[in-house]
Structure 1
C-alpha cells in the first residue's frame, strides 16, 4: 500500500480551538450509525477531517449491545477522538461519558438530533427537543462526569412550530458544553426536503460557543454557502462521505486555502478502500466485518463509477455479496483500474 497520508494531507492553515482542543480545519465527519466505524474515522482524519465522530453509542447498553458499544468507542489512530453518546437518563449518560473517557475520547458529543423512531421512541435523540428540561439535565450530568469537553448535536426543533434549537443551545452553553452542531431540518422532516442552512443562524446568534452547520453538504461549494447563510464556524458532512472518506478533507482544504486540493490518484483511492476493508476485518472479525463492510463496498464501487471508472455490474454484485474476504480484496484491487473510455 502506498503512503497516501504523505500524498494527501496538506497543511491546513485554518486552525481553531474548542474546549481546549486544537482543530485543523472547518469540516468534520458526522456521526452515522453503521458507517463511521473506526476504520473510516482513521481514514477521514488522515485525509484532513478536523474531527471524525464515532457512531452513536447507547448510554444504557448492556449484554451484546454493550460489547458493540465498546467497539464503537474505540479510537486508536484517531486524534482527536470524538465519541457520540445518546440516552435519556442522567445517571446512564454520566456512566457512558466515563466509559468514553476511559476509552480515550478527547471529546464527547451528545446526540439530541437522531430522528429514528427506535431512538425517539425511547425519549432520546431528537425527542429531547420536546423536553428541554430533561435535555439540560442530561448535558449537566455528562459535563460533570468527565474532564473532557462536551458538545451537543441537535436539529432545528421537533417540527416547524417548535424551532427551539437556539434555546437548547443556550442551555447547553450554560451547562458547560463547548460546541453545538445543528442539522438544518426538524425531526419531523427526517431527511426529506432540503436542509435550511439559513435557519441555523438563529442558533449561532444565540450563543458564544462555536456552532457547526450540518445537513446536505456534498462539496466545498455547499460548505461555503452553508457558512455564509448560517454564520457557523464549521460544517459537518454526513452521507456524502460514504465511499469517499477523503471528501471531508477535500472540503476542509478548499475552505482553508480557497482552492481545490489536487485530485487523488487512483492508486491512493484503491489504497484507502483496501485499508478500510482490512480495518473492518481486524475490528469485527472476518464474518461480521464482511457484513459490516457491504454498505462501504457498494459505496466505493458507485463512487468509482461516478468518477468515470468502469465498474462491471457482475463484479459489483460479487463485491457486496461475497463471503470470501480474499475475493472481496481482489475485487477492490481492480475497482480503480479501468477508466470508462478505455473500457469502451
Structure 2
C-alpha cells in the first residue's frame, strides 16, 4: 500500500533524506535523488531569517523541479513569525511544509525553537495550528522522543498534532538531552505507530546506517518509512543499497572508485552552479573525505582536494585518483 502525505504519493515504503544544516542543500539533494531518495527537505530555515529577508535564509528556499516531492522545513520560537514564514515558504512552491521540533543544538533549542518546544506542548500545538492554517500545502512535523528521559511525551504530541491537521510525523529516536549520542530507541516510535488513534504516516529516524539494519527495523518497528540523515553524507548510495536489499535480500556492491569520482564531480558542478565558483569550491571541501571514506592511502589526495582553489585543479586531482586506483587494482 502506498504511503500518502496529502495528495503526495510516496510509494510503498519511502526513504526520506533528512534536513541537515549545511549539508542538505540543492547540490547534495541532487546526488541523493539520483540514488533513490523518495522525498527530501531543505536545510532547516529560520522563521526570523525569512521575515527579515536574510539572504542566507532566502537562498535556502531554492528548490528545483527534479527534486520533487520536496518539503521546506522551518523553525522558530514565535508563533506569529512561524505563520508569516509559512506564507513566505508556500510562495516558493514546495510540495509540503515541515516544522522542526527536533533540532537539539543550543542556538536553536535554547532560543525556544526546535526541540525546546517539547517542553511546552500547548505552545507546540498552537504553533502547529497557525502553520497549518497559513498554507494550502500539507504540513508535517519532525521531532524527538522528548526533552529528556523523564519527559518522553511524543505519544501525546503525535495525537494532538494529528488532531489539528498535520499529515505525517517523523520521530528521531533520541531525546533532546541525548543530542546525537547513545543509541536511537525506536520502541516508542513503534507504540505510536500501533496507537489505533494514529492514522497519519509515521517515519522513523536515527541510526539507519546499513541496508540490513533498515530491513530489520522495518519489520521490528512497523513504521511507514524511514528518514536517513548522517549515513547519507558522502554516501548517497545508501538509498539505492537499502532499496536493493528490500527487493532482493541481497547486499549491493558498494560504489566503485569511478562512481565515487563521478558523484563527487556532479556534486561539485551543482555546487558551483548554485553558489558560484568560489563558494561552490570552498563548501565542497567538507564532502571530499566522506566521498572517499574507507579508501586505502587516500590522505595525500584528500589534502590536495581540500587545498585546491580552482575547478581545473580539482578536476586534475580527480583524474589522478582515477588513474592511481585503476593502476592499483590492475
Report matched runs for 1:318-333 at 5 Å.
318-333=304-319
Distance in 2 separating the partners of 1:198 and 1:334:
48
Selected match of 1:315 from 283, 289, 301: 301
Distance in 2 separating the partners of 1:325 and 1:341:
24
Which digits, 9 at most, give the CA deviation of each residue in 1:123-151, with x for residues without a partner?
00100000101111111111111111111
Distance in 1 separating the partners of 2:52 and 2:35:
33
Distance in 1 separating the partners of 2:102 and 2:212:
25
TM-score (norm 1): 0.88
Deviation at 1:250, TM superposition (A): 2.4
User: Is contact 2:14-2:39 (8 Å) kept?
Assistant: no
Give the structure 1 partner of residue 178 of structure 2. Answer: 189
* Structure 1 gaps, min length 5: 1-13
Distance in 2 separating the partners of 1:301 and 1:280:
18
Question: Compared with structure 1, are the counterparts of its residues 310 and 158 closer, same or farther at alpha carbon in structure 2 (3 Å cutoff)?
Answer: same
SS of structure 1 residue aligned to 2:54: helix
Is 2:5 the counterpart of 1:21?
Answer: no
Question: Compared with structure 1, are the counterparts of its residues 27 and 337 closer, same or farther at alpha carbon in structure 2 (3 Å cutoff)?
Answer: farther
Question: Compared with structure 1, are the counterparts of its residues 320 and 178 closer, same or farther at alpha carbon in structure 2 (3 Å cutoff)?
Answer: same
Give the structure 2 partner of residue 300 of structure 1. Answer: 291
Selected match of 2:221 from 223, 230, 248: 230
Give the structure 2 partner of residue 202 of structure 1. Answer: 191
* Structure 2 gaps, min length 5: none
Deviation at 1:310, TM superposition (A): 4.5
Is 2:103 the counterpart of 1:117?
Answer: no
Deviation at 1:224, TM superposition (A): 1.8
Which digits, 9 at most, give the CA deviation of each residue in 1:79-111, with x for residues without a partner?
112211111122211222222222121011110
TM-score (norm 2): 0.91
Which digits, 9 at most, give the CA deviation of each residue in 1:8-35, with x for residues without a partner?
xxxxxx7432211011342111111011
Deviation at 1:162, TM superposition (A): 0.6
* Most deviating of 291-300 and 320-329: 320-329
SS of structure 2 residue aligned to 1:189: coil
SS of structure 1 residue aligned to 2:42: strand
User: Is contact 1:119-1:125 (8 Å) kept?
Assistant: yes
SS of structure 1 residue aligned to 2:43: strand
Give the structure 1 partner of residue 158 of structure 2. Answer: 169
Selected match of 2:25 from 20, 26, 37: 37
SS of structure 2 residue aligned to 1:98: helix
SS of structure 2 residue aligned to 1:282: helix
SS of structure 2 residue aligned to 1:73: coil
User: Is contact 2:292-2:298 (8 Å) kept?
Assistant: no
Runs ≥4 residues deviating over 6 A: none
Is 2:261 the counterpart of 1:278?
Answer: no
Q: Over the residues paired in the alignment, what is the CA RMSD in angstroms? A: 2.3
Distance in 2 separating the partners of 1:65 and 1:313:
41
The count of corresponding residues between Structure 1 and Structure 2 is 326
Question: Compared with structure 1, are the counterparts of its residues 227 and 75 closer, same or farther at alpha carbon in structure 2 (3 Å cutoff)?
Answer: same
Deviation at 1:322, TM superposition (A): 2.4
Distance in 1 separating the partners of 2:14 and 2:186:
16
Selected match of 1:74 from 51, 62, 76: 62
User: Is contact 2:99-2:142 (8 Å) kept?
Assistant: yes
Question: Compared with structure 1, are the counterparts of its residues 57 and 170 closer, same or farther at alpha carbon in structure 2 (3 Å cutoff)?
Answer: same
* Most deviating of 72-81 and 250-259: 250-259
Selected match of 1:211 from 186, 202, 207: 202
